[in-house]
Chain A
Amino acid sequence: MSVSLTASLKKLGIFLAASVAVFVVFTLLISTGVINAYYKRILMTICINIILALSTNLIINFTGQLTLGHSAFMAIGAYAAAAISLKTGLPFVLSLIFGGLVAGLFGFLIGLPTLRLKGDYLAITTMGFCQIIVVAIQNIPQLGGAQGLPGIPGKTTFAWVFFCMILTILVLHNVVSSKQGRAMISVREDEIAAEAMGVNTTRYKVMAFTLGAFFAGLAGGLYAFLMMFIEPTTFNYFKSIDLVIYVVLGGAGNFAGCIASTSILTFLPEALRAFGDLRLVIYPLLLIIIMILRVKNIRVMRLVKMIGRHKGGKEGDSHAAA
């Protein structure tokens, strides 16, 4: 891994150029009608889901904390952004940032006490938190309660979701390839050893949670201004479970895999629509099959690696003896 400034700038330049190229291609396809409004909406949903999945990825795959309540932060971001825009007429971009910040604040406040729980206990607690947020919103008449909040201006465009996604990729990539990211990964690998090496694990867990919450909040804001109408049950823990599925299928700590699995899984229900009601049977069936095949595949990979290690180990020994 290179850490030099010039290499880093070059890398950034190529990434941005590639992103702009992808954006231009899609914009052309949209403006010429090759991608109609329906597919454009799916495309935008994919971008929003990628932001959500990457932020979940930071918490689950990089920091190793199983959260089943990430959609709560999406809800907070969506409602905060929509409400402030409707009440004060704050400009769109500031509303988005506001939504992200409020979500991030909640992430911090929730993360602090709950992140000392481990594994399944953390999972159920975050899931419970998600449910509490949904019920809380249902009881706030100023936010529309259970009936939902209509009349949000439809300001989210393809450019907004696309570049917010690029921004998310960049920021989270920079985070995970810095000391902060290393600290998060060390928490995932072995909390006790990490603490013994001077890593304040609580601090980095909360940092991952807060950052994740911020981007989920940002995605929530984009979603609100895309949908123009939001209601609480959209954000219940089933949405969180979807996110967990995206990142688990994407592979451990892997940006590209996460993006690919999110795109495919967001599009899959649309592709399966031709099957009618049966699609909701096919989807979980595919999920189970993929999980099983994935494990088989990992086993094969491990075997290959083991053979490789055997060779490498021998070389290593001879070297050590020399």
Chain B
Amino acid sequence: MPLLDIQNISIRFGGLTAVADFSLTMGDHDIYGLIGPNGAGKTTVFNMLTGVYTPTSGTMTFDGESIVGLKPYNITKKKIARTFQNIRLMKNLSVLDNVKISFIYQEKYGLTSAILRLPSFFHEEEDVQKKSLELLKVFHLDDKKDEMAANLPYGEQRRLEIARALATQPKLLLLDEPAAGMNPQETQELTELIRWIRKTFKISILLIEHDMRLVMSVCEKIVVLDYGKIIARGTPDEIKANPKVIEAYLGEEAAHA
């Protein structure tokens, strides 16, 4: 049984069909890439997958259960996590608190325990504190745990966003242009990081990215979207050789690659 099975999802906004008949199947520990020119509908696919939009038609099953029509927070509970194209950290909160947000749904104690400070409160809070710090350590952010997220440099904000997404304990991680705005060295580090995340956390990753070097080097399979439709899918080498892709999107960049 595949981890993620998307069959023919479409979405229309008014008269405009933003994404049509999108299908994708992912297994455990896959890293797939989703590429395409600006406005092709890549982020819209993410938004449907995470419940921000509900597809007009089509089915999406994750881990054997349908996730169509679920609220975003319920999809997170089903173990799909995401980052955002335009970083959406809690800017006025500390780095540590940003990660702790992701544990809220996993903590079981109720309002009464919180108000009366029952033992369960202390146990779970301690646990969350520990887990959050561990995660930050992995991402080399532990020495900045008390800094305000807004004050982090750009590359670290991206890293923190990934750490925060991982804290929700996903089986599938959706990364929306994680390399945007990074310099080549940072992108290189990111490439390593993505591979390392898959290995360490044993999860699948779906990646939207414009940086072809990154996509080609980490993704096992690539899906190409243009005007809301899939125009090609295959391994990086197949995609590189696909004339349709080159025509629609890669064109000159492929020449450079």
Write the residues of chain A forming the contact surface with B, with a CB cutoff of 8 angstroms.
3-5, 8, 12, 171, 174-175, 178-183, 185-186, 189-190, 192-201, 207, 305, 309, 312-313, 316-317, 319-320
Contact = CB atoms under 8 A, between A and B. Distances in A.
Contacts of A199: 73, 101, 104-105
A182 B97 contact: yes
Interface string B69-111: 0011100110001101000111111000100111111110101
A312 B114 contact: no
Given A185-B97, A199-B104, 11 more contacts: A12-B117, A174-B116, A179-B107, A180-B114, A183-B104, A189-B91, A193-B90, A195-B72, A197-B165, A201-B73, A316-B156
Interface stretch (B119-127, B195-203, B247-255): B119-127
B155 interface: yes
A195 B71 contact: yes
Q: Chain A's interface: helix, strand, loop or mixed, by majority?
A: helix
B115 interface: yes
Interface of B: 50-52, 71-73, 76-77, 81-82, 84, 88-93, 97, 100-107, 109, 111, 114-117, 119, 121-122, 124-126, 128-129, 140, 143-144, 147, 151-153, 155-156, 164-165, 167-168
Contact of B104 (A12, A186, A319): A186
A282 to B, nearest CB: 34
Contacts of B103: 179
A215 B107 CA distance: 26
A12 to B, nearest CB: 8
A314 to B, nearest CB: 9
B114 A174 contact: yes
Contact of A198 (B77, B143, B155): B77
A301 to B, nearest CB: 13
16 contacts: A5-B119, A174-B114, A178-B109, A179-B107, A179-B125, A185-B97, A190-B88, A195-B71, A196-B81, A199-B73, A200-B73, A312-B147, A313-B153, A316-B144, A317-B153, A320-B140
Contact of A189 (B84, B90, B117, B119): B90
B78 to A, nearest CB: 10
Contacts of A175: 111, 114-115
